[in-house]
Amino acid sequence: MDIVHSLSIEKTVLSSIIFRYEEIYTVSKILEVEDFYSKVHQDIYKIMIELHSEDMPIDEEFIRKRGVGYSFTDTDLIDLLSVNPITNVEAYCFEIKEDSKIRKIQNLSKRIPRYIEQNSKSDDVLYTLQQEIENIENHNTNDSLTSKDLISVVLKDMELAAENGSKVLGQSSGLKALDKVIGAFEDGDLIVIAARPSMGKSSIISTCQVQSKNAPICSAKVHHFVTLFNRNI
């Protein structure tokens, strides 16, 4: 592992977040604070995550104000700002993640002699190592959402719906009774309408296709694409 190269990549990712706020969404899904090799970069990224969670700007001034008592200085921030941001941040994040996993594996190898001393049976040693390895692998990506994240998403959806004078967010089916049950068609939805033959499944889908053409898209600046399937078995 090339330390100089790793530090350069870390600077590039952090610089990209400062220059383009939206990059924090990509980076925070992949990297944790401990994935950064440099303690300075760990502290700066930690502050970035805190600012993001509080819906605050992630810029030089806000990072400096929050940085009192941390390991970085104004010189470190200036050095960071001198690095040109990149477009493919995700690729760089995965490289940082890979370096982090290698370091964790190296640290694990150093602990093996201690595990052997503490356990008289090989099965116990292997079990401990297996747990450690699984822990490293499970931290490969950070895709989980906290309850705070989920609440934030729901509140934003409610705000968007209110702004558009609607009680639902997404693509309306055009049928008020159906919208009342399912809300609306949203990205990622898979809705199955099941019933016995000749009970009106095809009629509902056909009506949705006709009515939804004139139904409002209850979401600001977002277009929803809905695919309807009708299959009889």
Q: Residue 199 is part of which domain span?
A: 147-218
69-84 burial: b if 16+ Cβ within 10 Å, else e:
ebebeeebbeebeebe
Do residues 49 and 137 both lie within one domain?
yes
Does residue 25 sit in the same domain as residue 125?
yes
User: Of 142, 174, 189, which residue sits at a domain end?
Assistant: 142
User: Is residue 226 within 8 Å of residue 212, measured between CB atoms?
Assistant: yes
**Average pLDDT value over all residues in the chain:** 80
| 156 and 115 within one domain | no
The verdict on 106 and 172 lying in the same domain is no
CA distance 85 to 13: 7
Task: Assess if residue 223 is contained within a domain.
Answer: no
Q: What is the pLDDT of residue 210?
A: 67
The DSSP result for 111-136, as a single string, is HHHHHHHH-SSHHHHHHHHHHHHHHH
Residue 67 CA to residue 73 CA, distance in Å, equals 8
Which of 142, 161, 192 is the last residue in one of the domains?
142
Q: Do 174 and 135 reside in the same domain of the chain?
A: no
Count CB-CB contacts under 10 A for residue 67.
18
User: Is the residue at 127 inside a domain?
Assistant: yes
Rounded Cα–Cα distance for residues 144 and 114 (Å): 33
Q: Give the model confidence (pLDDT) of 20-32 as tens digits.
A: 999 999 999 999 9
Most confident of 76-90, 147-161, 212-226: 76-90
Tally of domains within the chain: 2
Q: Is residue 83 part of a domain?
A: yes
Of 6-15, 119-128, 195-204, the range with the lowest mean pLDDT is 195-204
User: Cβ–Cβ contacts within 10 Å for residue 156, how many?
Assistant: 11
Q: Would you say the pTM of this structure is higher than 0.85?
A: no
Same domain as 157, residue 98: no
Same domain, 32 and 63: yes
Give the amino acid at 169: L
> Do the domain assignments include residue 38?
yes
**Residue 108 Cα distances to 39, 126, 172, angstroms:** 20, 12, 54
Is residue 115 located within the same domain as residue 155? no
Q: Establish if 233 belongs to a structural domain.
A: no
- Encode pLDDT of 18-76 as tens digits: 999 999 999 999 999 999 999 999 999 999 999 999 999 999 999 999 988 898 999 99
Residue 212 lies in a domain: yes
Q: Is 84 left (phi over 0), alpha (psi -120 to 50) or beta?
A: beta
Does residue 213 fall inside a structural domain? yes
- Whether residue 230 lies inside any domain: the answer is no
Please tell me whether residues 46 and 118 are part of one structural domain.
Answer: yes
The verdict on 204 and 159 lying in the same domain is yes
pLDDT at 225: 55
The domain spanning residue 14 has which CATH number? 1.10.860.10
Domain co-membership, 102 together with 204? no
Length of the chain as a residue count: 233
Domain-terminating residue out of 142, 159, 180? 142
Q: Are residues 129 and 56 in the same domain?
A: yes
